[in-house]
């Protein structure tokens, strides 16, 4: 019997992987669903060295932009669920299932939520020539001039587009959407006065507001933004329904061990709460919003219910 137990212990030790290996034992990839230089890429590169230090393995950032984040999401969804590949995604991942007729992956079956990372507040900004100083005046103007006020966005189905559609739905006004191939050309046309309105991240809008090139009518949501402290929130302006959807998050391939998902979520939260990280996020106009996998899964269900309904009702398609 003694020899039997000794042999059994040796068998367990030799089996190693079958009974669970220490994690991590090799480098980890953070696949970012956008090209280098944007806020999501910056956030991933902020996390990379902190996660590497905490986990004891290199954490590399890999950019796979295109198709509204679907290229990166598909690549991660098809990766081995061994805890060595994660996806840094934007809010688009939560709405793409409603915007596209067909996707090469299923968000709910092929990916597992790890954590929400940060929110990026958006401001409703206007060209100075538009005779409206706040949301109520804008709504009154839009009702008096239906179909005459044009708002831009970085493209169909983007956060700025959906925010504009929400404004039109909530206020019962007719706004004309002008989609661009990216936020930069839309911003250029807004500054030039070729369009009148735009929902834009506080990161990009604050400098233009401070220089007098744009007028900020409100910051979408319940709270004011640190970069635009003088600008009221939409809740303060009497439009509490006007929220926006702009955030960064972390996912893993479905089947990734729950212990690894939980550990990665916790380490990401610690990294975002570090003083130097908080300072950089403030410079980006971002608000740290780390969450547990369970909390983030709940948030995704709420996003699907709210924004999926709007997308269906407004008949918004990205393909």
Which pLDDT belongs to residue 21?
Answer: 67
Q: Which pLDDT score, from 0 to 100, does residue 285 have? A: 85
What pLDDT score was predicted for residue 283? Answer: 85
27-120+246-313 against 122-219: fold identical: yes
Domain 122-219 in this protein, CATH class: alpha beta
Residue ranges of the chain with per-residue pLDDT less than 50: 1-19
pLDDT the model gives residue 249: 97
Q: What is the pLDDT of residue 211?
A: 97
Domain ranges in the chain?
27-120+246-313, 122-219
Which residue in this structure is represented by tokens 């608000």?
Answer: 287
Asked: is 27-120+246-313 a CATH 3.90.800.10 domain? The reply is no
Residue 280: per-residue pLDDT: 87
Question: Over the range 130-168, which residues count as b (16 or more CB within 10 Å of their CB) and which as e?
Answer: bebebbeebbebbeeeeeebbbbbbbbbbbbbbbbbbbb
Q: What is the spatial distance between Cα 162 and Cα 249, in angstroms, rounded to a whole number?
A: 19
Which residue is it, tokens 């929220």?
A: 243
Nearest Cα to Cα of residue 196 among 173, 214, 174: 214
| Whole-number pLDDT of residue 20 | 57
Of the candidates 252, 219, 257, the one whose C-alpha atom is nearest the C-alpha of residue 23 is 257
Cβ-based neighbours of 305, under 8 Å, separated by 6 or more:
none
């Amino acid at each position: 019997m003694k020899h039997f137990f000794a042999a059994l212990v040796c068998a367990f030790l030799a089996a190693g992987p079958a009974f669970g290996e220490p994690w991590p034992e090799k480098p980890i990839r953070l696949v970012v669903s956008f090209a280098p230089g944007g806020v999501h890429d910056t956030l991933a590169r902020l996390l990379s060295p902190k996660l590497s230090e905490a986990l004891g393995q290199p954490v590399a950032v890999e950019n796979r932009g295109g198709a509204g984040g679907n290229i990166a999401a598909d690549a991660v969804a098809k990766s081995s669920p061994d805890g060595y590949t994660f996806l840094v995604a934007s809010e688009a991942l939560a709405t793409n299932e409603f915007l596209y007729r067909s996707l090469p992956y299923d968000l709910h079956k092929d990916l597992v939520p790890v954590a929400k990372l940060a929110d990026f507040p958006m401001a409703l900004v206007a060209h100075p020539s538009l005779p409206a100083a706040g949301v109520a005046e804008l709504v009154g103007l839009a009702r008096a001039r239906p179909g005459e006020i044009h708002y831009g966005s970085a493209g169909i189905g983007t956060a700025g587009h959906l925010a504009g559609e929400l404004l039109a739905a909530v206020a019962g006004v007719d706004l004309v959407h002008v989609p661009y191939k990216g936020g930069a050309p839309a911003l250029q046309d807004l500054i030039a006065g070729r369009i009148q309105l735009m929902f834009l991240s506080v990161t990009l809008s604050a400098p233009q507001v401070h220089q007098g090139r744009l007028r900020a009518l409100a910051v979408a949501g319940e709270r004011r933004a640190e970069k635009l402290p003088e600008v009221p929130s939409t809740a303060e302006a009497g439009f509490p329904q006007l929220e926006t959807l702009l955030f960064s998050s972390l996912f893993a391939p479905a089947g990734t061990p729950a212990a690894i998902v939980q550990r990665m979520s916790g380490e990401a939260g610690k990294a975002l709460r570090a003083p130097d990280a908080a300072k950089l996020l403030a410079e980006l106009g971002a608000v740290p919003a780390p969450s547990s996998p369970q909390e983030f899964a709940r948030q995704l269900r709420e996003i699907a219910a709210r924004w999926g309904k709007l997308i269906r009702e407004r008949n918004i398609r990205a393909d």
